[in-house]
Structures are given as C-alpha cells and as structure tokens.
Chains A and B, each alone.
Chain A
Amino acid sequence: MSRRVARLLLAPAVLVVLALLPELGFGLGSVLPGPLSSPGTLQLLALSLLFAGVALSYDLLFGYTGLLSFGHALYFATGVYVANIAVTDWHWGFAEACLVAGAAGLLLAVVVGSISLRTSGIAFAMVTLAFAQAGAIVIQKNPHSWTGGEQGLGYDYTRIPGAFVGVVNTRNLYWLALGYAAAVYLVVGWAVRSSPGHVWQAIRENERRVEVLGLRTRGYKLLSFVLGSFLATVGGIVYLLVVGGSDMSVTAPDFTLAMLVMVVLGGSGTLWGPLLGGFLYTYANQRLVAVGGSHAVQSLPGFLRTPLSQPLFVLGVLFILVVFFLPGGIVGIGARGRSGAHGLSRVGSSLRARVHGGAEDPA
C-alpha cells in the first residue's frame, strides 16, 4: 500500500522539486556550469527537460506501438520552423504562429503517416527517414528566403511574449520546458492507459494477432504516429523559444537517431525511461564538451584525448554498451532488481517480432 502511494506521489514530488530549482542559489561544483539560478545552468536544464519530453513523444511510437520511425525530427522541425517563419517572415502574432505550426505538424503527420504506414518494419523506418530528409532539403534550399538555409533563422523578438525573451527571463523558459515535459508525461501516460493505448501495446506485442481479433491495425498505428508527432511539434515551438531561433541541426537525420538513443538509454516502453534518457543525453552532450576541454582530459595522451573530447563518440559507445548489457535501459536497473531479467526482455523480444514481422516468417 505504502509503495503504491509512494509511486503515485513520485511524479508530483519530482515536478515540485524541479519547479523550485531556479529559486535555489547554490551550485553543484563542476556538475553544472554555474549556480542553479544562473541563466547558463537554467538554459542547459531547460534544453534537457525539453528533450526529455521530446524523447517521451518518440517513445509513444517506438516503445509503446513498436513503430521504428526514423523521421521524428521532421515534426519537431516543423514546430521550430513554421512557428518561426510565421512570426519572423510573415509578421504574425505569436498565438496565431503557434496555431499554424500545430496545424502544419498535424497535417504533415497525417499525410506522411498514411503513406509510410503502407509499409511495416524496416521499410517503414527507411520511408520515414526519406520523408524527414525531404523536409531537411526543403529547409536547406531556403524557399523565398523564409528558412534562412544553413545560416538558420533567429526569431523576431518583438513578436514573442516578453516573458520569454532575454537572458533575464531564462527561468521562465525553464518553467516552460518543465511544463512541456510534464504535459507530455500526462498525455502519454493517459494515452497508453486508454483503450487505443492497449491496442498499441498489443500491436507491439503481436500485430497479426490483433488483426485476427478483427481490429484494423493501420488506423491505430496512424493514431499513435499522429499523436507522437504532434507532441514533437509542440516541443519544437518550445525549442524555438528556449534557443531563440531555428537551425539546421534539428532537421538532421542524426537528430532522430539521437532520440532513439535517448529512449533506449533510459528504457523504451516506459514513461520515466525516455524522460531520464532524454534529460541525461542532452545534459551529457552539452557538458561533455566542457569535460573534453578540461585540463584533466587535455593532459591525456592523444589517442585517449581525441575520442574523449567528442561527446557523440562517448555517447555512441555508451549506447552500444547499454544495448549489450542493459537491455531495459536505466530504469531497467531497478526493475531487474525486483523482478529479475524476465520483464526486461519483454519489450525487446516483441519489438524484434514487430520489426521483422510482416515481410517473412520469423526464421
């Protein structure tokens, strides 16, 4: 009983502690760039929380429905770019910009989802990747000089609500990112417990069996795809505010791969895993640059120094190690202690069947 109460109270408790962080004046040594209330630290934490939420939106597809999409960056980038273009190039108000960005993300997800869900498994992965690449090309080509191409596009700050502009207001951006992560947690948590949510998880376990039960799986998969993509689009708008502009890095295929790494590092098919994975990945990606430039690493011999100063190398290797030795991700460590390795292999084995199924018999 007390355990259940503790579990129920965990999320609100974490939320309260995180919400109070900007009010605290102390620092954590070299773990953070400065005291907790400093803009630099809050910016880093805001980005980490934002990507925690985005990773969870990807987990809805990958972890809960078994859809291995490599195009999630497209919907995130839609939020980042459409909102920015509406504000900066078309001189719209911020609220209208958010609406049009959300609508664009929704429409794009419905169209691309309907086409790519005609395939399944690995072909689905490749097709979503191709569409995401098409989006990246459009942004790079800079049509009508709207997107800024390789240069990126800084937003027109006069049209952004004043509370989110400027270094002084970094704490508001931090709370915004925290609110986004919390909202994604609530929406995904509610969605996976709803009736379609149970069908998603059944599809992940065995799609053919769900079909035999008389359910049209494509509609359910599309629903999951559109919901996850829309949450990512909203995250894109938050990113625009936190970073202060749009840049090509959010359209790169590497960005979708990064989301996959976040989800698997934390533990796919769970709510807390992707949040933790997204937070730690973003934090490590930013902080490892500082560690790589630190005196301790710089005084190492060259063959050690070069790899350690590349955050993506460290994260890539860490990722491989997690896949090999920690199949349940970070949150799986606790679960393993309680119920043995049994529960952990569940997601992996079902995804295996999902991704490989359809085209041929499992050999």
Chain B
Amino acid sequence: MSTVVLLTITGLGLGAMYFLVASGLSLIYGLMGVLNFAHGAFITVGAYGAWFAETKLSGIGSVPLRFLAASVVGLAAGTCFATLVELVLIRPLYLRHIEQVLVTVGVSLATVALVEGIWGSDPKFYVLPPWFSGTTTVAGAYIPNDRWIEIAAAAAVLVGLLTFLRFTRYGLIIRAGVENRAMVTALGIDVKRAFTLVFALGGLAAALAGVLSGIYFTSITPERGTSLLIFAFIVIVIGGLGSIKGSAVASAAVALTQQYVNYYSTGIGDLSVVLLLAIVLLARPAQLAGRTA
C-alpha cells in the first residue's frame, strides 16, 4: 500500500512538470498553429535564471527567502524571453507555420549551446530550504516533501489558467481563437495581442517547470529542457492539441504509467509511454483533431 501511495504521489509530481510544459505548448499550438520547439529553451532559461540569481544573492537573507526571490527572477527571465521570441521572431512570420517551427528549432539549438558555453554542461544545484529534503508520512509511505510543491504549483497553474480562460476577456478571445481563428479575426478582434499573451503565459509555466525540475531531479542541466519537451509532446498528442484539461489528464496518465512501469519492471517506463502513445493513435486517431481550450 505504502509503495502505491509513494509511486502515485511521485508520479503526480513528475506529471506536474509535464503539465506545466504541455499546457503552454498546447495553447500556443491551438491558437497559433506553431509547434514551439523553443519551449525547451524557456525551461532552460527559467532554471538557469533562478540558479544565477541565487548565486548572486548568496549570503543575503534566509535560505527560503533567497530561493523564493531567485525563483521569481527565473520565472521573470523565462516570461521575458518567451515574449521576446514571439515579438521578434514569430510575429514577422505570421501564418507561415513551417518557418515558425524552423525558427523555434533555431532558438532551441542556439539557446542550449549558449547556456552550455557560459555555464558548462555540468549539472548545477540549487541551495534549497531543509524542509524540501525531508519527508512526510502519508498512509505509511515516506513522501519527499518537494513533491507537494510541484503538485501544488501545477494545480495552481491549472486553476489559474482555467479561470483566466473562462472569466476574462482575453481568455474569451483565446478560447474563441483556438476554436476558429479566422472567425475571430473577421469579427474585427486583434488576435495578435493574444498571441503574445499565450507565449508569455507559456514561457512563465515552462520557466516554473524548469525551476521545479531543479528540485525534482536535484540538479539542472542545459539539456533537461529538451527531454521534458519530448514528454510534453507526447502528453499533448494524447490529451488533444489545444486542450488544457486534456493536457492535465494526459500529464497525470503519462507520468503515472512511467512511474508504475518503472517500479514493477526494469526501467522500461519511458518506453511504455511511447507504447501508450502508439495505442492511443491506433485506437482513436480522431483524438488529434480535438481542439477546445
């Protein structure tokens, strides 16, 4: 029993990161038709932004406060970077989807190479509050405390995004744009601002995933963004492109499958996820056309 609890909560912690990456990707794809390879770069920028801020702040204030401040810097860095990418590189190629994908590939290659050039490819470590490395006992299982942080952060983002999409004017424009962008434009609504907005939101969520990955995997590396991105791709294909709720459910499903299979077999959890993807594709290819935010 305690093993099941531990696997479930750890799986949800991993799923939380998948969701943070996948939600932004999914919204960007749903609204703009752009497969954003630069999303991995947003993760890396967020993670390294926080790490850099923390090293600069060392010795000031208490550890939890410092980590909080550093995380805020990381999130801001990821958001600004994503906004800049949209404004400078994506916007001039408006409606030229293939070129947009190519440009995001270029951004992803260049950013990872630059980060490696500046800080090297060795893992970097956050200085974390001691509470993070402790455990909580739930139904006899010792759960690492940081799992709660990841799950809470993803839950907050999920609720925040759904509220934003449901109850604000921009949320309405984004939902309508995902449904039928041509009609929204024809009604005289400027969707370009919504484009920048989804990129900024996606960058924010991705940067958050980057910071959290530094806690979950205990270190950050320049390539972590790309490996998270691949699982996020699988998640959004399974969950339906453009759907936030679909992403949430698929993130949890993918991460739990991975954890359980990894525990009960010898490390083929990652493969089982690809198998899951193949089954979903064979069973219901129509799933891929689903597009409601």
A residues adjacent to B (C-beta < 8 A): 68, 115-116, 118-119, 122-123, 125-127, 129-131, 133-134, 137-138, 141, 253-254, 257, 260-261, 264, 306-307, 309-313, 315-317, 319-320, 323-324, 327, 348, 351-352, 355-356, 359-361, 363
A-contacting residues, B167-196, CB 8 Å:
180-182, 185
13 A-B residue pairs with CB within 8 Å = A116-B281, A134-B274, A257-B109, A264-B102, A311-B113, A313-B109, A313-B110, A316-B106, A323-B99, A323-B102, A348-B99, A363-B181, A363-B182
* Contacts A68-B98, A130-B233, A348-B98 given; does A320 touch B274 at CB 8 Å: no
- Measured in the bound complex, the distance between the Cα atoms of B21 and A247 in whole Å is 29
Dominant SS at the B interface? helix
Q: Check B61 for interface membership: any CB of A closer than 8 A.
A: no
- Could you tell me if B89 and A320 are in contact, using CB atoms closer than 8 angstroms? yes
A-contacting residues, B231-289, CB 8 Å:
233-234, 236-237, 241, 267-268, 270-271, 274, 277-278, 281-282, 285, 288-289
Question: Chain B residues near A360 (CB, 8 Å)?
Answer: 33, 289, 291
- Could you tell me if B274 and A131 are in contact, using CB atoms closer than 8 angstroms? yes
Residue of B nearest to A112 (CB): B278
- Could you tell me if B230 and A310 are in contact, using CB atoms closer than 8 angstroms? no
- B98, B113, B116, B267, most chain A CB atoms within 10 A: B98
- Could you tell me if B274 and A257 are in contact, using CB atoms closer than 8 angstroms? no
Q: Which of B113, B182, B241, B282 contacts A359 (CB 8 A)?
A: B241
Q: How large is the interface on B (under 10, 10 to 19, 20 to 34, 35 or more residues)?
A: 35 or more
- Could you tell me if A118 and B289 are in contact, using CB atoms closer than 8 angstroms? no
- Measured in the bound complex, the distance between the Cα atoms of B287 and A123 in whole Å is 11
- Could you tell me if B274 and A130 are in contact, using CB atoms closer than 8 angstroms? yes
Question: Chain A residues near B158 (CB, 8 Å)?
Answer: none
* Contacts A264-B102, A360-B291 given; does A320 touch B233 at CB 8 Å: no
- Could you tell me if B182 and A319 are in contact, using CB atoms closer than 8 angstroms? no
- Could you tell me if A316 and B98 are in contact, using CB atoms closer than 8 angstroms? no
Residue of A nearest to B237 (CB): A126
- Could you tell me if B233 and A316 are in contact, using CB atoms closer than 8 angstroms? no
- Could you tell me if A130 and B105 are in contact, using CB atoms closer than 8 angstroms? no
Q: Check B108 for interface membership: any CB of A closer than 8 A.
A: yes
Residue of B nearest to A309 (CB): B117
- A116, A324, A348, most chain B CB atoms within 10 A: A324
Q: Check B107 for interface membership: any CB of A closer than 8 A.
A: yes
B174: min CB distance to chain A, Å:
14
Dominant SS at the A interface? helix
Residue of A nearest to B226 (CB): A253
A-contacting residues, B72-113, CB 8 Å:
89, 92-93, 95-99, 101-103, 105-113
- Could you tell me if A137 and B226 are in contact, using CB atoms closer than 8 angstroms? no
Given A130-B234, A310-B117, A316-B106, output 9 extra A-B contacts at Cβ < 8 Å: A116-B281, A127-B237, A312-B113, A320-B89, A323-B102, A324-B103, A352-B98, A352-B99, A363-B182
- Could you tell me if B233 and A126 are in contact, using CB atoms closer than 8 angstroms? yes
Residue of A nearest to B182 (CB): A363
- Could you tell me if A319 and B102 are in contact, using CB atoms closer than 8 angstroms? yes
- The 8 tightest CB contacts between A and B, nearest first, are A316-B110, A312-B113, A316-B109, A313-B113, A320-B106, A134-B274, A310-B117, A363-B182
- Could you tell me if A261 and B230 are in contact, using CB atoms closer than 8 angstroms? no
A73: min CB distance to chain B, Å:
12
- A129, A130, A348, most chain B CB atoms within 10 A: A130
Residue of A nearest to B89 (CB): A320
Question: Chain A residues near B185 (CB, 8 Å)?
Answer: 363
* Contacts A130-B234, A320-B103 given; does A119 touch B98 at CB 8 Å: no
- Could you tell me if B109 and A306 are in contact, using CB atoms closer than 8 angstroms? no
Question: Chain B residues near A115 (CB, 8 Å)?
Answer: 278, 281-282
A269: min CB distance to chain B, Å:
12
- Could you tell me if A127 and B118 are in contact, using CB atoms closer than 8 angstroms? no
Question: Chain A residues near B35 (CB, 8 Å)?
Answer: 122, 125-126
Question: Chain B residues near A123 (CB, 8 Å)?
Answer: 237, 241, 288
* Contacts A115-B282, A126-B233, A320-B89 given; does A351 touch B98 at CB 8 Å: yes
- B29, B92, B109, B181, most chain A CB atoms within 10 A: B109
- Could you tell me if A313 and B114 are in contact, using CB atoms closer than 8 angstroms? yes
Residue of B nearest to A359 (CB): B289
Q: Which of A127, A134, A309 contacts B271 (CB 8 A)?
A: A134
Question: Chain B residues near A134 (CB, 8 Å)?
Answer: 270-271, 274
A170: min CB distance to chain B, Å:
29
- Could you tell me if A127 and B277 are in contact, using CB atoms closer than 8 angstroms? yes
Question: Chain A residues near B237 (CB, 8 Å)?
Answer: 119, 123, 126-127, 130
- Could you tell me if B230 and A253 are in contact, using CB atoms closer than 8 angstroms? yes
B176: min CB distance to chain A, Å:
12
- Measured in the bound complex, the distance between the Cα atoms of B93 and A141 in whole Å is 41
Residue of B nearest to A292 (CB): B117
Residue of B nearest to A313 (CB): B113
- Measured in the bound complex, the distance between the Cα atoms of B93 and A261 in whole Å is 18
- Could you tell me if B281 and A119 are in contact, using CB atoms closer than 8 angstroms? yes
- Could you tell me if B106 and A310 are in contact, using CB atoms closer than 8 angstroms? no
Question: Chain A residues near B98 (CB, 8 Å)?
Answer: 68, 348, 351-352, 355
Q: Which of B93, B109, B288 contacts A254 (CB 8 A)?
A: B109
- Could you tell me if B117 and A306 are in contact, using CB atoms closer than 8 angstroms? yes
Question: Chain A residues near B277 (CB, 8 Å)?
Answer: 127, 130
- A123, A141, A355, A359, most chain B CB atoms within 10 A: A123
Residue of B nearest to A257 (CB): B105
Question: Chain A residues near B230 (CB, 8 Å)?
Answer: 129-130, 133, 253
B136: min CB distance to chain A, Å:
32
- Could you tell me if A312 and B109 are in contact, using CB atoms closer than 8 angstroms? yes
B72: min CB distance to chain A, Å:
25
- Could you tell me if A257 and B241 are in contact, using CB atoms closer than 8 angstroms? no
